[in-house]
Amino acid sequence: MANKNKILIVDDAVDTVELLRKRFRAEGYDTDEAYNGEEALQKVSEYNPDLIVLDVMMPKIDGYEVCQRLKSDEKTRYIPVLMLTAKGEVEHKVKGLDIGADDYMSKPFDYKELSARIRSLLSLKTAHEKKVVEVKSSALEQMMDQVAHEIRNPLTSIGGFARKVFSKLSEDDPNRKYLQYIIEDVAVLESMIKQLIELKSLSISNKEPSDINEIVKESLSVFEQDFINKGVHLNLSLMDNPPAIIADKKLLKRAFCNIIKNAVEAMEQEPRTLKVVTKTENNILKVEITDTGKGIEKEKIKNIFDPLVTSKVYGPGLGLTFAMKIIQDHQGSIHVESEPEHGTTFTISFPLK
């Protein structure tokens, strides 16, 4: 599951598609192709591209309508669209831009210019996504603070009174089982509030030069018995002499443990293989954690780090939220790729200075 930018090429001219596919893949992009407007709309849903190179003149549905549909759909609105056309007149460019195209080039085009524009659009998309994450993170912190403040005190009263009444009931009183349910549910909610407060106040206080391989191995050691009990095969590929990163080893271990725990729980059926890799790419230190579990649906991936979002039927979904916050506090980032029934890869990246 390589972390590559994905480009969808949409053009009814086979030679143009072939040319762009070879050039894009030579530059390290992943590509897919569509040869008419209807196929393009279907491919966007299936392929989930990071950018679309879209020809204007096509059969069935032209590029203008394809672009208009994409930009009117909340799910695809922010995918950059670079339109290509043999028409060079200003009015055609204006029409393309008016309906939401992010850039426009006329055929024949210079590939170096096209490549530069694609890099620019992908850079803008990354910046937009980062801003969205920052705004969302700020809103979530405010929400967590408010929830903890508003619920903590009445929850304490409910739990306290329920336990007091429970202690006064005789062993054969039929109401004991109902109070027991209340006490157990209150305990779950109290645990949630405690985690929310802990997450809100999470801070980095003991950073020092650290060996990422050692942190990874310590994190995996926590699950040795779980691996045996569940029949998980560990495939470990750690780089030699990794560059040191400045980290709070205890907190980073906790972040990795939360991700590993999620991976182990996701592997409900054979084969159960957990692959962990450390490596460097382009002055970035990466940790990849890949499982062969049930996977995550594409539309749910963007929400898995939100507090209380969980695929389980019990407990608050705070593990991945903790992991994301800890890694962000280390100036790192998490990227997730997943395919339902085939597994998930978490890629944690730390810039090297």
Same domain, 277 and 336: yes
How far apart (Å, rounded) are the C-alpha atoms in residues 56 and 34? 13
pLDDT at residue 10 in the model = 95
Asked whether residue 189 is assigned to any structural domain, the reply reads yes
Residues pairing with 288 in the sheet: 277, 347
Strands, E, within 56-165: which ranges?
Answer: 81-85, 103-106
> Domain boundary residue among 94, 109, 124?
109
pLDDT band with cut points at 50, 70 and 90 for residue 276: very high
Collapsing DSSP to helix, strand or coil, 9 comes out as: strand
| Residue 161 structure tokens | 């009174």
CA-CA-CA-CA torsion for 314, 316, 317, 318, nearest 10 degrees? -150
Q: Please write the tens of the pLDDT for every residue from 281-292.
A: 989 999 999 999
pLDDT at residue 226 in the model = 94
Residue 210 pLDDT exceeds 70 = yes
| Residue 93 structure tokens | 């460019």
Same domain, 212 and 335: yes
Residue 87 pLDDT exceeds 80 = no
Q: Please write the tens of the pLDDT for every residue from 297-312.
A: 877 777 777 765 554 4
The listed range with the strongest mean pLDDT (88-97, 138-147, 202-211) is: 202-211
Asked whether residue 292 is assigned to any structural domain, the reply reads yes
98 vs 179, higher pLDDT: 179
| Residue 211 structure tokens | 């060996």
Same domain, 195 and 217: no
How far apart (Å, rounded) are the C-alpha atoms in residues 69 and 275? 40
In this prediction, residues 60-83 reach a mean pLDDT of 91
In this prediction, residues 323-344 reach a mean pLDDT of 88
Asked whether residue 127 is assigned to any structural domain, the reply reads no
How many percent of the chain have pLDDT more than 70? 88
pLDDT band with cut points at 50, 70 and 90 for residue 2: very low
pLDDT at residue 202 in the model = 62
Nearest one of 268, 259, 257 to 293, comparing CA atoms: 268
Q: Please write the tens of the pLDDT for every residue from 102-152.
A: 998 888 889 999 999 999 999 988 888 878 777 766 776 676 677 777 788
In this prediction, residues 173-191 reach a mean pLDDT of 89
Angle at 312 between CA 308 and CA 313, to 5 degrees: 95
pLDDT at residue 74 in the model = 86
Q: What is the total count of domains within the chain?
A: 3
Three state DSSP letters for 141-192 = HHHHHHHHHHHHHHHHHHHHHHHHHHHHCCCCCCCHHHHHHHHHHHHHHHHH
| Residue 24 structure tokens | 């894009």
pLDDT band with cut points at 50, 70 and 90 for residue 3: low
pLDDT at residue 150 in the model = 79
Same domain, 101 and 172: no
In this prediction, residues 77-101 reach a mean pLDDT of 78
CATH code of residue 277: 3.30.565.10
Same domain, 242 and 341: yes
Q: Please write the tens of the pLDDT for every residue from 20-61.
A: 999 999 999 999 999 999 999 999 988 989 999 999 888 888
Half-sphere exposure (CA, 13 Å, Cβ side) for 41? 17
User: Residue 60: which domain range?
Assistant: 6-109
Asked whether residue 232 is assigned to any structural domain, the reply reads yes
Residue 341 pLDDT exceeds 80 = yes
Same domain, 180 and 301: no
| Residue 81 structure tokens | 């669209």
CA 236 to chain CA centroid, nearest Å: 23
Residues pairing with 6 in the sheet: 30
Same domain, 176 and 248: no
Same domain, 249 and 187: no
Asked whether residue 116 is assigned to any structural domain, the reply reads no
pLDDT at residue 36 in the model = 92
CB neighbour class for 301 (10 Å; exposed up to 12, middle 13-18, buried from 19): middle
CA-CA-CA-CA torsion for 48, 53, 58, 64, nearest 10 degrees? 90
CATH code of residue 25: 3.40.50.2300
What is the biggest distance separating any 2 CA atoms in the chain, rounded to whole angstroms?
A: 88
In this prediction, residues 263-269 reach a mean pLDDT of 91
pLDDT at residue 134 in the model = 72
Asked whether residue 338 is assigned to any structural domain, the reply reads yes
In whole angstroms, how far apart are CA 64 and each of 29, 33, 68, 93, 181? 25, 18, 6, 11, 59
> Domain boundary residue among 200, 221, 254?
200
Collapsing DSSP to helix, strand or coil, 312 comes out as: coil
pLDDT at residue 207 in the model = 86
pLDDT band with cut points at 50, 70 and 90 for residue 88: low
Same domain, 186 and 220: no
> Domain boundary residue among 109, 141, 174?
109
In this prediction, residues 63-82 reach a mean pLDDT of 91
pLDDT at residue 189 in the model = 82
pLDDT band with cut points at 50, 70 and 90 for residue 346: very high
Same domain, 71 and 48: yes
Contacts of 189 (CB under 8 A, 6+ apart): 151, 155
pLDDT at residue 313 in the model = 31
Same domain, 90 and 154: no
By residue count, the chain amounts to 353
Asked whether residue 128 is assigned to any structural domain, the reply reads no
**265 close to 223: Cβ distance less than 8 angstroms:** no
Mean pLDDT rounded to a whole number for the chain: 86
**264 close to 292: Cβ distance less than 8 angstroms:** no
Residue 335 pLDDT exceeds 80 = yes
Same domain, 223 and 316: yes
Asked whether residue 121 is assigned to any structural domain, the reply reads no
**56 close to 84: Cβ distance less than 8 angstroms:** yes
pLDDT at residue 165 in the model = 93
